[in-house]
Amino acid sequence: MLIFEHSRPGREAPGHSPRELADVSDIPAGLLREDVPGLPEVSELQAVRHYTRLSQKNFSIDTQFYPLGSCTMKYNPRACNTYAMLPGFLARHPLAPASNGQGFLACMYELQEMLKDVTGMKAVSLTPAAGAQGEFTGVAMIRAYHDARGDSERSEILVPDAAHGTNPATATMCGYKVREIPTLKDGDVDLEALKQAVGPQTAGIMLTNPSTLGVFERRIQEIARIVHEAGGLLYYDGANLNAILGKVRPGVMGFDVIHMNLHKTFSTPHGGGGPGAGPVGVSERLEPFLPVPMVGHDGERYHWITEKDRPQSIGRLSAFMGNAGVLLRAYIYARLLGREGMHRVADFATLNANYLMVKLREAGFDLAFPGRRATHEFIVTLKRQKKELDVTAMDFAKRLLDYGYHAPTTYFPLLVPECLLIEPTETEAREELDGFVEAMVKIQEEAETNAEVLKEAPHTQPVRRLDDVRAARELDLAWMEN
Amino acid sequence: MPFIPHTEDDIRAMLEAIGADSIEALFDEIPADLRIKHLDGVPETMSEPELARLMLERAEQDGRPLNFIGAGAYEHHIPAAVWEITTRGEFYSAYTPYQAEASQGTLQVIYEYQTMMTRLMAMDASNASLYDGASALAEAVLMAVRANRKSKSRKVLMPVAVHPAYRATTRTIVDNQDINLVEVPYDPAGGHTPVEALKQYEGEDITALVISQPNFFGILEDVDALTDWAHANGALVIAVANPMAAALLTPPGRWGEQGADIACGEGQPLGVPLSSGGPYYGYMCCRKEHVRQMQGRIVGRTVDRDGRTGYTLTLQAREQHIRRSKATSNICTNQGLLVTASTIFMAIVGGAGLQRIAAASHANTRALVERFRDNPAIGPVFDRPCFHECVLKVGAPLNTVLPALAGDNLIAGYDLGQDYPELEDCLLVCATETKTEQDLDHYVEAMNRVVGDATAGRTAKPKMA
Ligand SMILES: Cc1ncc(COP(=O)(O)O)c(C=O)c1O
């Protein structure tokens, strides 16, 4: 039932708006709205109950194991929420003077400093709102860098074929053509193809390392050399930073610019689709182009760094400073982890992934890259099951929901047929991983004996499989009373 | 170890299963010279009580000044229930609803949100959010360039009275796509964007006109005339509307003869706290015929195999994960949790409640301005009606007035001289429904006193300036 269907004319939740409609007769009548907007008319309890019940129709980290590859669904500590939502932080207006925000700005400045250290970059700007906006920022800076040197003929961004969709989409937004670089059978980038592809037209390359295939790109230093020698720059898509947090700095691998997904590696919540935060870090030569605002410190006071201080900045990305409340959560998380905790993130994310990978292999599942170590994630391919039993990765994914597990990422990366990209994260206990393996084994048995139960799955959710074709063909995007 | 559940036994058993001697051994594919040795820039671990003390101190450090700035972020009452429910783990810690059957909660919330926004804006369709109001305007410009198939110029008219940070953000984002953003001046007496300022473009190929209601100065634009001008000249209309204002003012879908083509803006006034600028969310609505050009996620209602109603992400062929370099935008993660908050906010406050909040905000700002009637040094700069913000000329330098007022626990307004040199010593002031009579009195008393002191000081020591 929709909230609109609880609505009754004249019902309301008093106490949240003034009792009377104030006089607006000084506004010309032609500019005033003639009707009352058709929002629900419900009591506060009705609203609270309705949305509480809706929440219960969701899978979430707080309620289920959520091994969604490339998304780093680790525990979002409650302390991060509680202390980011203190009234003093919530009430602060974005344009209040810096003198009225020293406490908040101190957190932001310290976060910049910590992110610099863990990534090995020279400077950090916190303003991008999510990974994709961080990518946009990074590639726009690469463009600004080449332009500033009068090197404006560079027209191409290289992207491995395993890359996330945001990478090529970003290159296009920045006015670049995309050239794809193939991947070898072992999951590493095809260096011969890369050497063929680079040239005076190369502006840069966008790489994820570990890649979206769940393996560490072993010849990263070689890739950096090839691209740099061609005059291009290296962009690091930090979606998989959890695999190397506290172990390897992207700056040391040779990257010139990176983004981090704080809603992955720094445990800020995904919120059912966002908000995230995608700070960017750069090497020295890109520093002048960083987006504003940033936070500076003169030894005594914190202040904003704006366009006036950074004439070569690519500019601003949003009306204010980006997702400040998300950044506060990331700051709190980083302080709770501290140095020792930070070192351990990659350790235990990798331990969990390798354990789960080995257990699934022992249980008879095929790995996409059997000769490789898992990083923080790995890929199982169900190509064989598809061929022999006519069940797909989608069928497994949907059946897992019945067993109380959120599905791994399916059909990404596009390179591996019938793939399940599995990322357990460091915050899961061993029993949880064992339970997942057990469920996978049971589903495999079902696939062999009664495949229908998979094809018809899920059976226990609020709805069964939905008609996506109808959704797109008979568009129903907003409710209308009949 | 913070947030890591492993016991010594677990670690031993897991390594044994893997066949590795140590956790270290699991990193043997990473070249040794790349490995981190020290993390000196990260402080020692803090316990939760230590952290709590630090954050409480920092949050309190900045006091609780009485805020009279709007300028794109507005202080409104938020019912306690809104964030109590929004931060339930089931909403807070879920991912994007790609597995529809296990995400019906989030999906239905978005469908309800889309319904509420189309009704508030009187538009046909809404997406599930963009990053913020400014980046939503940038996306709207890109969308208009795709949607206006008759126009080849990629020329978009952008009034100077649109929020300066929105214009700056749009410049950054469309910079490399060969789009021409043409500034349209405002009327110095009225503070509005006069249709006459557009006359010089008549007969030219214009892709779109941006119209902000209210504009950055809080002034109400003549939206009908501007919209009709744009449509008569083959341009699409991009509305940038404050959603709280839209409850009281003619909504974008009803501007002029045909209505705006795209409506976008900042969703923050609908239940999102100020919190230093984010997270907020950008809303975006459009007419039916442009839905396939819209960016971001969209939820559709459909049925499952048993014919039961359900909700799912739809029209995904617009998006980067399907269309890659040919997608309408690179956006992936959006601002979903803020949309959840806004949906609950709109459900609790209701349409009539929104109107009363909007009207009270308007009335409070007007009452504040009227209290300066007897002070010839202070008064409104523009003579046209405003919504809930007003530009005040303050007869003294703001770089002394504002810090002095801070001493009275007041954040007195936004200094417009930063963005508009011709508006030096002009203050953009906003008094929403959250301000009481006493707040207004306090503001006026302090402002009169501080400006009085400053002027007296200047007369006494003219060389100081
Ligand atoms: C590999 C990779 N790159 C980029 C992104 C985009 O990040 P965001 O969703 O924060 O925009 C994601 C996540 O969705 C990802 O997994």
Neighbours of A19 (CB within 10 A): 8
Chain B residue with Cα closest to A188: B29
Give yes or no for residue A242 CB within 6 A of ligand 1.
Answer: no
Q: Given an 8 Å threshold on Cβ–Cβ distance, is A373 in contact with B64?
A: no
**Could you tell me the end-to-end alpha-carbon distance of chain B, in angstroms, rounded to an integer?**
59
What count of Cα atoms within 13 Å lies in the side-chain half-sphere of residue B40? 1
Q: Is B297 on the interface with A (CB under 8 A)?
A: yes
CB-CB neighbors (< 8 A) of B305 in chain A: 456, 464-465, 467
Give the whole-angstrom CA distance, residue A116 versus residue B426: 39
- Residue ranges per domain, chain B? 8-61, 66-75+351-455, 80-345
DSSP reduced 3-state for A413: coil
Please say if the pLDDT value at position A96 is more than 50.
yes
> What's the confidence (pLDDT) of residue B465?
33
Non-local CB neighbours of B304 within 8 Å, separated by 6+ positions = A463, A464, A465, A466, A467, B101, B310
DSSP reduced 3-state for A416: coil
Average pLDDT, integer, range B385-403: 96
Please say if the pLDDT value at position B462 is more than 60.
no
Give yes or no for residue A132 CB within 6 A of ligand 1.
Answer: yes
Q: How far is the CA of B102 from the centre of ligand 1 (A)?
A: 21
Q: Given an 8 Å threshold on Cβ–Cβ distance, is B359 in contact with A135?
A: no
> What's the confidence (pLDDT) of residue B458?
58
Question: What does residue A260 show for φ and ψ, rounded to 5 degrees?
Answer: -115, 145
> Out of B2, B304, B327, whose CB is closest to A341?
B2
Q: Is B276 on the interface with A (CB under 8 A)?
A: yes
> Mind listing the pLDDT tens digit for each residue in A298-321?
999 999 999 999 999 999 999 999
The secondary structure element, H or E, covering residue A138 is: helix A131-148
- Residue B355 tokens, joined: 């109107």
Q: Given an 8 Å threshold on Cβ–Cβ distance, is A51 in contact with B347?
A: yes
Task: Answer whether the bond into residue A275 is a cis peptide, omega within 30°.
Answer: yes
Closest CA to A122 of A147, A103, A98, A141: A141
CB-CB neighbors (< 8 A) of A22 in chain B: 356, 359-360, 362-363
> For the domain B80-345, what is the CATH code?
3.40.640.10
Q: Is A330 on the interface with B (CB under 8 A)?
A: no
What count of Cα atoms within 13 Å lies in the side-chain half-sphere of residue B162? 30
Alpha-carbon torsion (B339, B343, B344, B346), positive or negative: positive
The secondary structure element, H or E, covering residue A388 is: helix A383-389
Give the whole-angstrom CA distance, residue B305 versus residue B293: 30
Atom of ligand 1 nearest to the CA of A70: 16
Q: Is A60 on the interface with B (CB under 8 A)?
A: yes
A91: left (phi over 0), alpha (psi -120 to 50) or beta: alpha
pLDDT classification of A270: cutoffs 50, 70, 90: very high
Question: What does residue A420 show for φ and ψ, rounded to 5 degrees?
Answer: -120, 115
> What's the confidence (pLDDT) of residue A28?
97
Lowest model confidence (mean pLDDT) among A243-247, A378-382, B318-322:
B318-322
Q: Given an 8 Å threshold on Cβ–Cβ distance, is B45 in contact with A341?
A: yes
Average pLDDT, integer, range B9-27: 98
Q: How is chain B split among helix, strand and coil, in percent rounded to 5?
A: 45, 15, 40
The CA angle B176-A147-A196, to the nearest 5 degrees, is: 90
| Mean pLDDT of chain B, nearest integer | 96
> What's the confidence (pLDDT) of residue B460?
41
Probe residue for ligand 1, chosen from A70, A136, A137, A166 as the CB with the greatest number of ligand atoms within 8 Å: A166
> Mind listing the pLDDT tens digit for each residue in B279-318?
999 999 999 999 999 999 999 999 999 999 999 999 999 9
Q: Given an 8 Å threshold on Cβ–Cβ distance, is B56 in contact with A170?
A: no
Task: Answer whether the bond into residue B49 is a cis peptide, omega within 30°.
Answer: no
Closest CA to B330 of B295, B298, B303: B295
> Mind listing the pLDDT tens digit for each residue in A400-451?
999 999 999 999 998 999 999 999 999 999 999 999 999 999 999 999 999 9
pLDDT classification of B1: cutoffs 50, 70, 90: confident
Non-local CB neighbours of B360 within 8 Å, separated by 6+ positions = A17, A18, A22, B432, B433
| Mean pLDDT of chain A, nearest integer | 97
Please say if the pLDDT value at position B137 is more than 80.
yes
Report whether A168 contacts B324 (CB < 8 A): yes
User: If you ran DSSP here, which 8-state letter would residue A58 be given?
Assistant: B
Give yes or no for residue A239 CB within 6 A of ligand 1.
Answer: yes
pLDDT classification of A293: cutoffs 50, 70, 90: very high
Q: Is A71 on the interface with B (CB under 8 A)?
A: yes
> Out of A100, A174, A319, whose CB is closest to B133?
A319
Q: Is A316 on the interface with B (CB under 8 A)?
A: yes
> Mind listing the pLDDT tens digit for each residue in A448-465?
999 999 999 999 999 999
Atom of ligand 1 nearest to the CA of B330: 11
Chain B residue with Cα closest to A401: B102
Give the whole-angstrom CA distance, residue A290 versus residue A294: 9
> Mind listing the pLDDT tens digit for each residue in B197-218?
999 999 999 999 999 999 999 9
Please say if the pLDDT value at position A395 is more than 60.
yes
The CA angle B410-B412-B418, to the nearest 5 degrees, is: 135
Q: Given an 8 Å threshold on Cβ–Cβ distance, is A88 in contact with B331?
A: no
Cα–Cα distance list, A131 to A71, B5, B131, B195 (Å):
11, 28, 11, 40
For tokens 């300022």, name the residue: B197
Question: What does residue B363 show for φ and ψ, rounded to 5 degrees?
Answer: -65, -40
pTM, two decimal places: 0.98
Question: What does residue B340 show for φ and ψ, rounded to 5 degrees?
Answer: -60, -45
The secondary structure element, H or E, covering residue B238 is: strand B236-241
Non-local CB neighbours of B189 within 8 Å, separated by 6+ positions = B382, B383
Closest CA to A80 of A400, A328, A363, A248: A328
CB-CB neighbors (< 8 A) of B1 in chain A: 340-341, 344, 348
Please say if the pLDDT value at position B336 is more than 60.
yes
Give the whole-angstrom CA distance, residue A408 versus residue A71: 10
Q: How far is the CA of B243 from the centre of ligand 1 (A)?
A: 29
CA distance B140 to chain A (A): 14
Of A20, A92, A360, A369, which to mutate for an interface test with B (greatest number of B Cβ within 10 Å)? Answer: A92
> Mind listing the pLDDT tens digit for each residue in A342-394?
999 999 999 999 999 999 999 999 999 999 999 999 999 999 999 999 999 99
- Residue A378 tokens, joined: 């790995």
Give the whole-angstrom CA distance, residue B181 versus residue B238: 13
DSSP of B298-310:
-EEEEEBTTS-EE
Q: Is B336 on the interface with A (CB under 8 A)?
A: yes
Distance of CA A353 to the CA centre of its chain: 19
Average pLDDT, integer, range B348-371: 98
Percent above pLDDT 90 for chain A: 99
Give the whole-angstrom CA distance, residue B425 versus residue B395: 7
Average pLDDT, integer, range A27-31: 97
Q: How far is the CA of B292 from the centre of ligand 1 (A)?
A: 23
CB-CB neighbors (< 8 A) of B112 in chain A: 2-4, 479
Q: How far is the CA of A134 from the centre of ligand 1 (A)?
A: 10
- Window 221-250 of A, Cβ < 8 Å to B: 221, 244, 246-249
Q: How far is the CA of A479 from the centre of ligand 1 (A)?
A: 31
> What's the confidence (pLDDT) of residue B457?
73
Q: Whose CA is nearest to atom 12 of ligand 1?
A: A239
Give the whole-angstrom CA distance, residue B397 versus residue B415: 10
Report whether B274 contacts A94 (CB < 8 A): yes
User: If you ran DSSP here, which 8-state letter would residue B296 be given?
Assistant: S
CA distance A256 to chain B (A): 15
> Out of B17, B94, B101, whose CB is closest to A272?
B94
CATH architecture of the domain with range A79-336: 3-Layer(aba) Sandwich (3.40)
The secondary structure element, H or E, covering residue B113 is: helix B104-121
- Residue A126 tokens, joined: 């916190």
Of B64, B145, B325, which to mutate for an interface test with A (greatest number of A Cβ within 10 Å)? Answer: B325
pLDDT classification of B172: cutoffs 50, 70, 90: very high
Atom of ligand 1 nearest to the CA of A261: 10
Q: Is A383 on the interface with B (CB under 8 A)?
A: no
Give the whole-angstrom CA distance, residue B432 versus residue A186: 61
Closest CA to A477 of B444, B78, B294: B294
Q: Whose CA is nearest to atom 16 of ligand 1?
A: A70
The secondary structure element, H or E, covering residue A281 is: strand A280-282
- Window 86-145 of A, Cβ < 8 Å to B: 86-97, 99-104, 106-107, 113-114, 116-118, 129-133, 135-136, 140, 143
Give yes or no for residue A70 CB within 6 A of ligand 1.
Answer: yes
A-to-B residue pairs, Cβ atoms closer than 8 angstroms: 693
Which residue intervals of chain A bear CATH 3.40.640.10? Answer: 79-336
In terms of DSSP bridges, do strands A202-208 and A233-238 run parallel, antiparallel, or are they unpaired?
A: parallel
Give yes or no for residue A261 CB within 6 A of ligand 1.
Answer: yes
Cα–Cα distance list, A235 to A172, A264, A281 (Å):
15, 18, 10
**Could you tell me the end-to-end alpha-carbon distance of chain A, in angstroms, rounded to an integer?**
15
> Out of A270, A276, A314, whose CB is closest to B172?
A314
Report whether A80 contacts A332 (CB < 8 A): yes
Q: Given an 8 Å threshold on Cβ–Cβ distance, is A471 in contact with B312?
A: yes
> What's the confidence (pLDDT) of residue B461?
40
> Mind listing the pLDDT tens digit for each residue in B77-104?
999 999 999 999 999 999 999 999 999 9
**Amino acid of residue A184:** L
Q: How is chain A split among helix, strand and coil, in percent rounded to 5?
A: 40, 15, 45
Cα–Cα distance list, B203 to A435, B96, B144, B198, B226 (Å):
69, 46, 19, 11, 15
B66-75+351-455 CATH fold: Aspartate Aminotransferase, domain 1 (3.90.1150)
Give the whole-angstrom CA distance, residue B176 versus residue A176: 9
Q: How far is the CA of A164 from the centre of ligand 1 (A)?
A: 7
Give the whole-angstrom CA distance, residue B156 versus residue A479: 33
Q: Given an 8 Å threshold on Cβ–Cβ distance, is B52 in contact with A79?
A: yes
Alpha-carbon torsion (A232, A233, A237, A243), positive or negative: positive
